[in-house]
Amino acid sequence: MKKIGLLLLILSSVFAYAQTPEEKGREIAIEADKRDNGFANSSSKMTMTLKNANGDVSIRKMRSKTLEVHGDGDKGLTIFDHPADIKGTAFLSFTHVLDADDQWLYLPALKRVKRISSKNKSGPFMGSEFAFEDLSSREVEKYAYLYIKDEAVNGEDAFVIEVRPNYKYSGYTRSVVWISKEKYQPLKIDYYDRKNSLLKTMSASGYQQYLGQYWRPDVMVMANHQTKKETRLGFADYQFKTGLSERDFNKSSLKRAR
């Protein structure tokens, strides 16, 4: 029996050794997805602080709701509160793994719901350094993975994996993600533009655990190395399993989102 046990041990270490960097990268992504599974729905308040190279600052405030969808990308509803001229504007998105997302915008002055092109994945979200795709739900099949190494971020152990988008219209050739070994959430992401030069770095901090399972950051800072602009995205009032349903994520609910 002991011999068989030893054989199994040897075999398993051989298999582990035979695991390619692609397999290991994907395995980390699957584990991250698994650990974030089952949150059902969530909501939070967001404050965006946009800073340009001269240090001029402008503020955006919004509320965000997310509905977890199994087997596809999540559904999201974002309601804008500030600045006052865009108050009441709301954005509904049904994200998909590889297909184009479905997106609708509600313009309160005209009471008009507009279906908009989803080609804007690479476009800036509210004039910030975050692109729509940076804030979209991370589904395993959206990317191809490559494990690079282990490296700590501010003393926190992390896997470093390279991620290449499988979907159309991404603004990136690739990104390099530092995923916390403890939380399986990104601590840092380097984004490389279509010419493969370093474009932006996202740093997430202040992770807190909700419902004993789901880790969410308090702050995400996106620094653009090419324009020297920076956006700080602060999160507050995270709530999970609040009873949101499909009904809260359609064109009717978009129209009365306020």
251 Cβ contact partners less than 8 Å away, ≥ 6 residues apart: 92, 104, 113
User: Would you tell me which residues interact with another protein (CB under 8 A)?
Assistant: 50, 52, 56, 58-59, 82-88, 100, 102, 110-113, 115-120, 122-124, 127, 168-169, 171, 247, 250-252, 256, 258
Which position has the token pair 């030893």? 6
Identify each DSSP E strand in the chain by its residue range. Answer: 41-51, 57-67, 75-82, 90-94, 102-107, 112-116, 143-150, 158-165, 172-180, 186-193, 198-205, 208-210, 214-216, 219-224, 230-240
CA-to-CA distance for 113 and 24, rounded, in angstroms? Answer: 44
CA-to-CA distance for 157 and 178, rounded, in angstroms? Answer: 9
110 Cβ contact partners less than 8 Å away, ≥ 6 residues apart: none
Torsion over CA of 162, 168, 171 and 176, rounded to 10 degrees?
Answer: -10
Count CB neighbours of 91 within 10 A.
21
CA-to-CA distance for 17 and 246, rounded, in angstroms? Answer: 44
